[in-house]
């Protein structure tokens, strides 16, 4: 076997080797952080490359380590996970962020979504849901654990949902509904245009029209509206 053959075999082995999902953990409770790290690393495809307990340490670690995904709590010692997400987006970081929290507050969920969070898992969720959420947000999808999608979000129908609460779905056209669904799933205008066979400019026009009709002012409100009215389900987000 010559040197060229050796190189080709090595290159093929590298191509077939499983890629690690590099995770940055942001959690101010040391014991919980250590336990979460140990739990995640039982999965051979996941590697925890960094840890932080404060927003400044997290920002520095993310900048240096370039993780595949960030897991953050909402309640941190100095600021909040929402502040971290907002700071990342201000810095034009596109790293996916999965929020892992005990909070069941609809308003905090909305705030985190508006800041730019990609997924949400409660701390009492099964390990499998956390891993599922990591894979979903790394694939560019929006993710809600089962308890959130079936429990808390369904409670929005009780009249505490905020923007668009009383807006009837029948006001929007079939095409606007298709665009709304894709916005709620976290798709870009470009991706939605490709999927629907439309121009980006047309998608932008539909998006503007439906948000005006429904009195929705941002992507977080669109997602909440879609979930509240059954236009998007948890399984839809995973399949997008």
Nearest CA among 43, 39, 37 for reference residue 24: 37
CATH annotation of 3-155: 3.40.50.2300
Which percentage of the chain shows pLDDT scores above 70?
A: 77
For 168-224, the pLDDT digits (tens) are 666 778 888 888 888 877 788 888 889 889 898 998 888 888 888 877 777 777 777
**Top-tier CATH class for 161-239:** mainly alpha
The CB-side HSE value for 15 (13 A sphere, CA atoms) comes to 6
Q: Within 10 Å of residue 79's Cβ, how many Cβ atoms?
A: 15
- Which of 7-16, 99-108, 138-147, 157-166 has maximum average pLDDT? 138-147
DSSP-H helix ranges across 142-184: 146-147, 174-184
Which of 59-68, 134-143, 204-213, 216-225 shows the lowest mean pLDDT across its residues? 216-225
Residue extents of the structural domains in the chain: 3-155, 161-239
Predicted TM-score (pTM) of the model is 0.64
């Amino acid at each position: 076997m010559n040197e060229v053959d050796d190189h080709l075999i090595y290159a093929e082995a590298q191509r077939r080797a499983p890629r690690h999902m590099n995770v940055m953990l942001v959690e101010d409770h040391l014991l919980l952080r250590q336990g979460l790290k140990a739990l995640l690393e039982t999965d051979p495809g996941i590697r925890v490359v960094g840890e932080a307990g404060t927003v400044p340490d997290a920002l520095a670690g993310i900048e240096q380590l370039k993780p595949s995904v960030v897991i953050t709590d909402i309640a941190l010692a100095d600021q909040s996970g929402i502040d971290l997400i907002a700071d990342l987006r201000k810095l034009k970081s596109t790293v996916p962020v999965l929020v892992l929290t005990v909070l069941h507050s609809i308003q905090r969920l909305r705030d985190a979504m508006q800041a730019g969070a990609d997924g949400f898992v409660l701390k009492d969720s099964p390990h499998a849901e956390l891993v599922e959420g990591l894979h979903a947000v790394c694939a560019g999808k929006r993710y809600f654990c089962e308890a959130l999608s079936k429990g808390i979000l369904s409670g929005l129908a009780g009249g505490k949902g905020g923007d668009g609460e009383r807006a009837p779905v029948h006001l929007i056209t079939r095409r606007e509904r298709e665009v709304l669904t894709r916005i709620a799933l976290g798709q870009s205008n470009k991706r939605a245009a490709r999927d629907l066979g439309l121009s980006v400019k047309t998608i932008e026009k539909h998006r503007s029209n439906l948000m005006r009709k429904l009195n929705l002012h941002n992507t977080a409100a669109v997602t909440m509206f879609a979930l509240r009215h059954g236009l998007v389900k948890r399984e839809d987000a995973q399949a997008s």
